[in-house]
Structure 1
Amino acid sequence: MLAMKLNLTHFAGFNHVISLQIKETKITRLCHEKTALTVNGQFPGPTIYARKDDVVVVNVYNQGNKNITIHWHGVDQPRNPWSDGPEYITQCPIQPGANYTYTIIFTEEEGTLWWHAHSDFDRATVHGAIVIHPKRGSTYPYPKPHKEIPIILGEWWNVDVEQLVKEVQRTGGDVNISNANTINGQPGDLFPCSKDGTFRVAVEHGKTYLLRVINAGLTNEMFFGVAGHNLTVVGTDASYLKPFTVESIMIAPGQTMDVLLEADRATDGSCNSRYYMAARTFATNTNIDFDNTTATAILEYVDAPPSAGPPEFPNLPAITDIAAATAYTAQLRSLASVEHPVDVPTHVDEHMLVTIAVNVLPCGSGNETACTGPGNNRLAASLNNVSFGNPSIDILDAYYYSIRGVYEPDFPNRPPFVFNFTDPNLPQTFWPTKRATEVKVLEYGTVVEVVFQDTAILGAESHPMHLHGFSFYVVGTGFGNFDENKDPETYNLVDPPYQNTVAVPKAGWVAIRFRAANPGVWFMHCHFDRHLLWGMDTVFIVKDGKTPDAQVMRPPPNRPRC
């Protein structure tokens, strides 16, 4: 009956129904107690388990004190933008005391994804892992691990994150940095009042463990490693990779990495029995404040004599080591096997060059010195010099019901003017942007290539760009200004990684390709939450195709109202 009501009869997987209760909970970290939003009283929230092709129905009850939405990060949601989650894009928020039912449709995803709040800065504490196992009768393309362990990298603020947002909106300045990076919600025993809560992993010699690493942080790319152990990377963003072995990984906000750890250290007392897992910020713009703390967890051999000394510490790259981050991401290549093939589009219908920038807008208070951004302006951000403004009702409803005046269908394919985008000495005349709600409309089936180009306006830096509704092939990347005549010759069209979030390098570019065969309204944005707040985002509207299975599903009942 449920499948018929939601028009899901052609999805063959098993249906699960679960409940998530959002409520205020007292949490103590760094000797400081505060009240924060959590899910089912947990921080991080519960892990959602499914198999490939399953459908999971999630009843979300907002028992908190503010509006909220939930996004299922990396799930394509075919024909079902109604359950994607970003506030004022595909839905109005769930108000306190109300509830909403999301339907998560898993199709091609297999591996690790995650869910999180998609409203204000709520995802600082409202998030959790999604584990998608192979469908019944199939298995991993690598030996089955002894145990699977979600490792969620995040950040902790002693203050209420809602106050962070209000302060930024009031002053127009930057967001105060977090007080600590975290692993599974804990900063680790290098911090005061944190020893007892430090996350611990018990292992046995000779067994292999699958670490499902998620960067749920709001502001930091991260290096992650485990002392004394190499990591074999086998997947990213719920897609398998050609395995490769490294000492540490670099993971951007929004991304997931599946890594195998072999517990191969001696247990006869000749080696330490405890080893730190550690996560450290990778900072590409040191001209702005950043959290330079190191979060730790402890991996401990339970079949070895206890060590008297402290755990060994991993050799992580330096905070500013761009070369290490670049070398790591260059090794990401799709598995491209018979069981897990790739389908890289070789013909492109629509080319887009999208510049990424931090900008300014007038303070707007009538007092030209009231804002604390550069030049007493208000900090903003843009794509192709358009700073996205959230409408008063969600874009999906406006599109589906043909409500006029909510958005303009004219997001540009190219920036309004061309200059040396990566020049570190750009004049202040490049600072301003414009605020608008502009979207890009695509015909069903269009093959799109987007080249993200970082700019040095108010400082070059890396940007984790995330696309809802699609995974995409990362066909090329480089430093400097993209050259449309030469750089496509360097593309990898054989086995590029298949991701939903890609780190655009500082003062560089990334090229992605996807086929717009998922009708609906789909958000695209930077996964640094301050940049999202400032307007570094836009929307793709993919029109319906000609057949019923190429058209948006009908909206579910009881959708939240603005």
Structure 2
Amino acid sequence: MRSILRIGYLVLGLATAIQGSLVLHDDSFQPDHILRVTARDYTQACMERYSVLVNGSSPGPELRFQEGKVSWIRVYNDMEDSNVTMHWHGLTAFTAPFSDGTPLASQWPIPPGHFFDYEVRPEVGYAGTYFYHSHVSFHAVTAWGALIVDSIEPAPYEYDEERIIALSDFFTKTDEEIVDGLTSTNFTWSGETSAVLVNGQGRLATNATGSCKLAAISVEPGKTYRLRFIGATALSFVSLSIESHDVLEIIEADGHYTKPVKTSYLQIASGQRYSVLLRAKSESELRNEKSRQFYFQLTTMGRPTVLTTFAVLEYPSSTTTDLITVPATPPLPVANITYGWLDYTVEPYYPDYDFPTVEEVTRRIIINVHQNVSERTVWLQNGYDWVQTFPKSPYLVDIYEGTLDLNASYKRAIDSGYGFDNQTRLFPAKMGEVLEIVWQNRGTVDNGGVENHPFHAHGRHFYDIGGGDGLYNLTENEERLKGTHPIPRDTSMLYAYRKETTALAPSGWRAWRIRVTDAGVWMMHCHVLQHMVMGMQTVFTFGDQTDIKAQARTPGRGYLTYGGSVYGNATYSPSVRHFF
């Protein structure tokens, strides 16, 4: 039934897109949600920091969409000296291609003093947990918020209530200081995160003094809760567990229901989301425990220093919950990385007949990633970095303007042997191809250092076919895949497996399969913000100029110019194409 509904919505969406026209968004137009982006001094973890905020806070307001239904989100850029975009992390933007929120890839950013109306319609079958964030500079460390897509059908799991538990990092340096240090010839690291916050609250470190409160997640005895975990961190790869609650049941990963997987802990990287079922303790169990509050313990992994922070799971009573005291000794063992966590294990809840077999793969693209130090310290993919200042205008705009020849780019990419065109820094693909994309970790040129990278794909979700140490071996991985049912994901972890090795030595891989079915310009990148700023981003084009233009027809000139007529301001209302 779900597959029939999904096909029906896709056909309806295509028909509507073809018929769409420019619509004046004047005072008679009422968006479903309004987000206003500002920058000012803001206090978190008892420290004041100049931060980019959404509706005056971090995190911004929770948004709820519904499968198959169009939502309009008006994003105001109220900052005076910075562009902004908004990306709907994990959601697709196939027939509203200018709504993906990727500056210099799929749209011009929103200039100061302007606003842009984003059109988003989640596909049927994508009910789940997401988040939104700015895709400019280092904004996403604070400019983000939870986004939930509700199903048009009853959920396959029963629970009484749900709670959002979103993780983010706190840095004492400002966005501008961090970006300047990372991109300078006199490279300066951002510093490690000072705190992992839960829903924007927390303390700087274990045993910190002061009045900062820990986040509290309230539950009632005997009820079953869906805990929606969101990895909105900038840098931190977090292991999370709950004191005296060691039976969690994973039911969703990156917006897709899974068959239940029991676990006592989660590993959550930047960009990843999971839902778990938590069965709250009964009153008799609480009496035996002699406590009504328990710690969430969060430990950062794979970094030079280990940071352990906390939140509180509370069963409210007449006694006030203590949100000030931090345990002198962590109540749970401090976690190490479990390499390959959930690989070859998690399976889709609904039957999925679209997984591409190895026989269907038409092309394999190996993307070697490593850090290099020359004039600047950069992260490279197949020898090149990608930053927002490289293209002079967005690729999607150039495609509509006729100044980007994707057929020539594709030929250069094939001739390179890597599937990469170094002139445009694109990975072009033809419609109908079935790609196997292998992210290959390699040691840093100067010292052999290796790091973990959560890779995120825009556009169509990929099938994660696992990972491992060393070099990717197709034959060995096919043996591991036997009897498994890979699930679509949008963010998965390329592990380092060691802190250092020799220069350019292979040290871990992650492999995906994806059908090229939806034309457009789609970024695929490490979701660690520092690595993105330092060049660890790739851009894929699916289809040629004809395919991409046919996907959504003519958008209107206002989309093709920075600050064009589709970007409204205080003096005029924008003329917007309704793609759905």
Name the TM tier (shorter chain). Answer: 0.7 to 0.9
Superposition RMSD in Å: 3.2
Which residue of 204, 227, 240 maps to 1:211? Answer: 227
From 100, 115, 118, the equivalent of 2:135 is 118
Distance 1:517 1:49, change over 3 A: same
Q: Retained in 1: the 8 A contact 2:519–2:547? A: no
Residue of structure 1 equivalent to 2:254? 237
Aligned counterparts of 1:220 and 1:414: Cα–Cα separation in 2: 38
CA shift in 2, pair 1:197/1:185, >3 Å: same
SS at match of 2:287: coil
Per the TM alignment, residue 452 of structure 1 is displaced from its structure 2 partner at its CA by 1.4
How far apart, CA to CA, are the structure 2 residues paired with 1:416 and 1:188?
Answer: 50
Q: Which residue of 2 aligns with 1:343?
A: 354
**For 1:12-161, what aligned pairs fall within 5 Å after superposition?**
17-65=32-80, 66-107=82-123, 108-135=125-152, 138-143=153-158, 145-161=159-175
Change (3 A) 1:477 1:69: same
Residues 444 and 542, structure 1, Cα contact 8 Å, conserved in 2: yes
Answer whether contact 1:453 1:509 (CA < 8 A) is retained.
yes
Partner of 2:493: 503
Match of 2:502 in 1: none
CA drift of 1:308 comes to: 8.7
TM norm structure 2: 0.81
Shift of 1:16: 6.6
- Counterpart of 1:440, as a letter, is F
Whole-angstrom distance in 2 between the partners of 1:415 and 1:508: 23
Q: 1:448 aligns with which of 420, 435, 450?
A: 435
SS in 1 for 2:355: coil
Q: Which runs of 5+ in 1 are unaligned?
A: 364-377, 418-433
Q: 1:200-219: per-residue Cα shift (whole Å, max 9, x none)?
A: 12211110111111111111
Name the TM-score, length of structure 1 as normaliser. 0.83
Contact 1:150/1:212 (8 A) holds in 2: yes
Q: Deviations over 1:127-159 (max 9, x none)?
A: 011111111xx211111x222111111101122
Deviates more, 1:487-496 or 1:158-167: 487-496
1:487 lines up with 2:501 in the alignment: no
* Counterparts of residues 351-370 of structure 1 (less than 5 Å): 351-360=364-373, 362-363=374-375
CA contact under 8 A between 1:381 and 1:534: conserved in structure 2?
yes
Higher helix fraction (1 or 2) = 2
SS where residue 98 of structure 2 aligns?
helix
CA distance in 2, matches of 1:388, 1:311: 42
Give secondary structure in 1 for the equivalent of 2:274. strand
Displacement, 1:192? 4.3
Instruction: Provide closer, same or farther for how the CA distance between residues 352 and 194 of structure 1 changes in structure 2, counting only shifts above 3 A.
Output: farther
1:259 equivalent in structure 2: 276
Offset at 1:267? 3.3
1:107-145 per-position Cα deviation (integer Å, ceiling 9, x unaligned): 03111011111011000110011111111xx211111x2
Q: Partner residue of 1:249?
A: 266
* Deviation (angstroms), 1:435: 8.1
CA distance in 2, matches of 1:259, 1:243: 9
In structure 1, what is the Cα distance between the partners aligned to 2:416 and 2:318? 60
> Structure 1 residues 494, 331: closer, same or farther in 2, change over 3 A?
closer
Q: Distance in 1 between matches of 2:149 and 2:86?
A: 18
Are residue 386 (structure 1) and residue 397 (structure 2) matched? no
Paired letter, 1:521: V
- For 1:16 and 1:6, locate their aligned partners in 2 and report how far apart those are by CA, in whole Å: 19
- What is the identity, as a one-letter code, of the residue corresponding to 2:562? R
Structure 2 Cα separation of the partners of residues 241 and 220 of structure 1: 25
CA contact (8 A) 2:365 2:438 kept: yes
Q: Secondary structure at the match of 2:530?
A: helix
Pick closer, same or farther for the CA change 1:329–1:184 going to 2, 3 Å.
Answer: farther
Cα distance in 2 for residues equivalent to 1:437 and 1:443: 16
Q: For the residues of structure 1 that align with 2:243 and 2:517, how far apart are their CA atoms?
A: 44
Q: Is the 8 A contact 1:30 1:192 kept in 2?
A: no
Count of aligned residue pairs for this structure pair: 512
Q: Percent identity?
A: 27
Which position in structure 1 is the counterpart of 2:17? 7
Aligned amino acid, residue 453 of structure 2: H
Asked if the contact 1:380/1:534 (under 8 Å) is kept, the reply is yes
Q: Which residue of 2 aligns with 1:367?
A: none
**Match of 1:282?**
301
Q: How many Å separate the matches in 1 of 2:465 and 2:79? A: 42
CA separation in 2, counterparts of 1:46 and 1:84? Answer: 19
Q: Secondary structure at the match of 1:174?
A: coil
Secondary structure, aligned partner of 1:187 = coil
Q: Does 1:551 align with 2:551?
A: yes
Alpha-carbon distance change, 499 to 9 in structure 1, aligned in 2, over 3 angstroms: farther
- Structure 1 residue 246 displacement after superposition: 1.3
- Look up the match of 1:296: 310
Q: Secondary structure at the match of 2:286?
A: coil
- Cα distance between partner residues in 2 of 1:549 and 1:227: 53
Letter paired with 1:384: N
Would you say the 8 A contact 2:461–2:514 is kept in 1? Answer: yes
- CA 1:23–1:528 in 2, change beyond 3 Å: closer, same or farther? same
Write the letter of the residue equivalent to 1:478: G
Q: Secondary structure at the match of 1:351?
A: strand
The answer (yes or no) to whether the contact 1:411–1:440 under 8 Å persists in 2 is no
